[in-house]
Amino acid sequence: VPWNYPFHNVLNPLIAAVFAGNSIVIKPSEYASWSTQYFGRMIRLCLEAAEAPTDLVQIVTGYGDAGNVLAEGSVDKLIFVGSVEVGRRVQESCA
């Protein structure tokens, strides 16, 4: 999730994942970690209102190392929004 447009780039993949019956892990840019207090609260309240498990959506904050753990882990799908340079590194980690 990029630093300059975190709200939309969180909700778009989140809604698609949850409506399809999947859980999702969101890792915002280290420059947008502050925004997790806002959209994290909103997400939790929406899940509670829908009587869905609140741990269906997980938010991970941190620097590139935290993103590397996700990219090199056993996730089924990874969506990256950011620079071409970092995108290439993410692609290599996922390959």
* pTM for this prediction: 0.81
pLDDT tens digit string along 17-58? 999 999 999 988 888 888 889 999 999 999 999 999 999 999
pLDDT tens digit string along 1-10? 656 677 788 8
Average pLDDT of the chain? 87
Can you tell me the distance from the alpha carbon of 49 to that of 74, in angstroms, rounded to the nearest whole number?
A: 30
Residue 87: strand, helix, or coil: helix
What is the pLDDT, as a whole number, of residue 3?
Answer: 62
Specify whether the CB–CB gap between 19 and 9 falls below 8 A.
Answer: no
Specify whether the CB–CB gap between 42 and 70 falls below 8 A.
Answer: no
Q: Rounded to the nearest 5 degrees, what angle is found at the Cα of 50, between the Cα atoms of 46 and 54?
A: 65
Backbone angles phi, psi at 83, to 5 degrees: -70, 160
